Amino acid sequence: MVPEPSTASALPKARTGISGFDDVTYGGLPAGRPSLVCGAAGCGKTLFAVTFLVNGATLFDEPGVFMSFEERAEDLAANVASLGYDLDGLVAEKKIAIDHVRVERGEIEESGEYDLDGLFIRLAYAVDTIGAKRVVLDTIETLFAGLTDAAVLRSELRRLFGWLKDRGLTAVITGERGDGHLTRQGLEEYVSDCVVLLDNRVEDQITTRRLRVVKYRGSAHGTNEYPFLIDEQGISVLPVTSADLDYGASSDVLSSGIAGLDAMLGPGGFFRGSSVLISGVAGTGKTTIAAHLLDAACRRGERCLAFVFEESGAQICRNARSVGLDLEPHIDDGLLKFEAARPSLYGLEMHLARMNRDIEQFQPSIVVIDPVSALRGPANELQATLLRMVDMLKSRGITAVFTSLRTDGTFDQAGDLGLSSMMDAWIKLQDVDANGERTRTLYVIKARGMSHSNQVREFQMSASGVRLVDAYVGPAGVLTGTARIVQEAEEQAALLRRRQDSERRRREVQRRRESIERQIAELRASLELADEEEQVILGEDELRETLLIQERTTIAGRRGAAE
């Protein structure tokens, strides 16, 4: 934003109600003093003056008088009706008075008696009738068209400006651009307390309106050129030239709406208020990822605004249904709004002014710009515009999502005008052509302040939604699509074969073990049988030995008896 003055100004100011202009002038035009609004034909002087009057009457309870020297009251009312201003209604409510003063050059004589007493009488009557606090004189060249005496002209100008000051009227006087001067006469800018220069220039067949506060007596003010926009919503000025890097940093984490992508980010999503770049060649799914971010935010009850330059909002909603997203209920609930325009409709600064105005009105928490690469202009102006765009969103704490079309599949950052370095997170989408098919892949190139995966993921879109699949990474390289499926099938088959071989070897070992155990059992049975047989034989031998001893004993006894 425009930097604030170091000390508060004591000069009373009258707010114009024009978005951005009061920021540039630190409060509005000098109250009770005349201000000059000058510029070439078609730059918006009359519309600026009417807006000043209408806002004063409707917003600040300051009735006003519009004195026209060119347009009739009915023509003026018809011309500003396109901005939504009901001059006839305000006139009926005595909040605005319109007086058309016809000035014919042939009727003006430089006799030395020329004065503005008649004008003062008419103007005073109109002011007193409605109690006016504001006055517009449009245009001053017509009033002094017949005067060529510089001394008389300067004298009457001073009388006019002095009369307005004496009455305490905050006046806006419009003037046409002159040759070598801000105005035709070259005097008005010197006697005015504030001079605002409007410009409507054409570059590369694109019109851009710019505003500059040339001087402001007694007050600090923005000194740069500022783009301003005139459309059906009135006048809005973009008071952004450069932003200080003093905005806060939130630790809140927002889901991307894609579980696989959240899993690749350490906290499980993106930081709130960060800037996210989604880049890739055509057809890789940039808008689809942005649509998921919008859907996830709307489901959380957050307001989202999307600036689109290649498709209409209705087309994006239709295409999102093919991946299982229904964005239309969010639009019906007032949570999602699409602003669609061709890049060639405005110049760069006009696009920026339009975005600033729409963001101020809608107050979104997430903004999508799809694609930012569609903007065209000189490289230095385009880079400055992108920087101001990023700063404008960051200063408001808005999470910004930029999609960018890249014509190559490399990581080269040349040609992106430094956009990638401005981003807090960069998601790269890339096509991989192999085996006669095209496969989408996704990388997280960077994610400031958080751990993130450095692996490639296959990016699949279907009617059931978006899914990230781990790509095959092995000796054969990174495989996706059918090649990944074939490789996984081959690995599954090899694993099955290894398991079958292992099971077969286990069964063979088991059979050998059982065979040996049977052999051991048979040997043990034979051994036991041999032991039993041996015991029997030993028993029989002992029995025979016993019987033999008994027989010997019996025989010996018989011999002894015979003797």
| Residue 32's CATH number | 3.40.50.300
| CB-CB neighbours of 538 under 10 Å | 10
User: Measured between alpha carbons, how far is 293 from 391 in angstroms, rounded to an integer?
Assistant: 21
Same domain? For 421 and 507 the reply is no
Residue 437, domain member (yes or no): yes
The better pLDDT of the pair 210, 438 is held by 210
Which span out of 141-150, 264-273, 532-541 was modeled with the highest average pLDDT?
264-273
DSSP per residue, 363-398 = --SEEEEETGGG--S-HHHHHHHHHHHHHHHHHTT-
Per DSSP, helices labelled H in 265-312 are 286-299
The better pLDDT of the pair 59, 375 is held by 59
The answer, yes or no, to whether residue 560 has pLDDT greater than 50, is yes
CA angle 274, 429, 319 (to 5 degrees): 90
- Using CB atoms within 10 Å of the CB of residue 169, give its burial: 0 to 12 exposed, 13 to 18 middle, 19+ buried: buried
Domain span at residue 105 reads 13-237
For residues 39-55, give the mean pLDDT: 89
The answer, yes or no, to whether residue 432 has pLDDT greater than 80, is no
The helix/strand/coil state of 216 is strand
The answer, yes or no, to whether residue 123 has pLDDT greater than 60, is yes
Same domain? For 476 and 509 the reply is no
The answer, yes or no, to whether residue 309 has pLDDT greater than 50, is yes
The answer, yes or no, to whether residue 380 has pLDDT greater than 50, is yes
**pLDDT tens per residue across span 111-120:** 445 567 778 8
User: Measured between alpha carbons, how far is 77 from 67 in angstroms, rounded to an integer?
Assistant: 13
For residues 505-524, give the mean pLDDT: 89
Same domain? For 353 and 414 the reply is yes
**pLDDT tens per residue across span 329-355:** 999 999 999 999 888 777 777 788 888
The answer, yes or no, to whether residue 149 has pLDDT greater than 70, is no
Q: Which of 424, 417, 416 is nearest to 400 (CA)?
A: 424
The better pLDDT of the pair 460, 51 is held by 51
Same domain? For 224 and 263 the reply is no
Q: Which of 441, 456, 483 is the last residue of a domain?
A: 483
Residue 476, domain member (yes or no): yes
pLDDT tier for residue 8 given thresholds of 50, 70 and 90: very low
For residues 454-481, give the mean pLDDT: 73
| CB-CB neighbours of 292 under 10 Å | 22
Residue 430, domain member (yes or no): yes
Same domain? For 25 and 137 the reply is yes
Q: In the block, which residue shows the tokens 């991307």?
A: 256
Token pair of 485 as six digits? 């499926």
pLDDT tier for residue 417 given thresholds of 50, 70 and 90: low
User: Measured between alpha carbons, how far is 228 from 47 in angstroms, rounded to an integer?
Assistant: 12
**What average pLDDT is seen over the chain?**
82
Same domain? For 126 and 190 the reply is yes
User: Which percentage of the chain shows pLDDT scores above 70?
Assistant: 83
Residue 460: predicted pLDDT:
83
Same domain? For 463 and 368 the reply is yes
Please name the residues in contact with 192: beta carbons below 8 A apart, sequence gap of 6 or more. Answer: 34, 35, 36, 161, 173, 215
Residue 413: predicted pLDDT:
46
User: Which percentage of the chain shows pLDDT scores above 90?
Assistant: 29
Token pair of 381 as six digits? 């102006």
| CB-CB neighbours of 378 under 10 Å | 11
Same domain? For 276 and 418 the reply is yes
pLDDT tier for residue 54 given thresholds of 50, 70 and 90: very high
Same domain? For 468 and 509 the reply is no
The helix/strand/coil state of 527 is helix
For residues 189-201, give the mean pLDDT: 84
Same domain? For 230 and 268 the reply is no
**pLDDT tens per residue across span 216-234:** 988 888 888 888 888 777 7
Residue 148: predicted pLDDT:
61
Is the peptide bond between 371 and the residue preceding it cis, with omega within 30 degrees of 0? yes
Residue 417, domain member (yes or no): yes
User: Measured between alpha carbons, how far is 76 from 96 in angstroms, rounded to an integer?
Assistant: 13
For residues 134-151, give the mean pLDDT: 75
Q: Which of 237, 272, 295 is the last residue of a domain?
A: 237
Token pair of 365 as six digits? 């928490």
The answer, yes or no, to whether residue 206 has pLDDT greater than 80, is no
Same domain? For 190 and 317 the reply is no
The answer, yes or no, to whether residue 97 has pLDDT greater than 50, is yes
- Using CB atoms within 10 Å of the CB of residue 539, give its burial: 0 to 12 exposed, 13 to 18 middle, 19+ buried: exposed
> pTM higher than 0.75, yes or no?
no
The helix/strand/coil state of 336 is strand
User: Measured between alpha carbons, how far is 187 from 355 in angstroms, rounded to an integer?
Assistant: 37
Angle between helices 286-299 and 313-321 (to 10 degrees): 90
- If you ran DSSP here, which 8-state letter would residue 265 be given? B
Residue 71: predicted pLDDT:
84
Residue 554, domain member (yes or no): no
Residue 254: predicted pLDDT:
92
Residue 331, domain member (yes or no): yes
For residues 472-486, give the mean pLDDT: 61
3-class secondary structure per residue, 120-138: HHHHHHHHHHHCCCEEEEE
Residue 357: predicted pLDDT:
84
Rounded to whole angstroms, what are the CA distances from 297 to 257, 293, 363? 8, 6, 14
The answer, yes or no, to whether residue 387 has pLDDT greater than 70, is yes
Same domain? For 227 and 324 the reply is no
Token pair of 118 as six digits? 């008649």
CA angle 275, 280, 281 (to 5 degrees): 150
What is the number of domains present in the chain?
3
Q: Which of 94, 134, 97 is nearest to 14 (CA)?
A: 134
Q: Which of 483, 513, 531 is the last residue of a domain?
A: 483
Residue 553, domain member (yes or no): no
Residue 278: predicted pLDDT:
92
Residue 104: predicted pLDDT:
58
464-467 CB contacts, 8 Å cutoff, 24+ apart: 464/324, 465/323, 465/324, 465/325, 466/258, 466/260, 466/285, 466/288, 466/289, 466/292, 466/323, 467/260
Residue 147: predicted pLDDT:
60
Residue 548, domain member (yes or no): no
Is the peptide bond between 183 and the residue preceding it cis, with omega within 30 degrees of 0? no
For residues 412-421, give the mean pLDDT: 62
- If you ran DSSP here, which 8-state letter would residue 371 be given? T
| CB-CB neighbours of 71 under 10 Å | 17
The answer, yes or no, to whether residue 2 has pLDDT greater than 50, is no
**pLDDT tens per residue across span 100-112:** 887 655 444 444 4
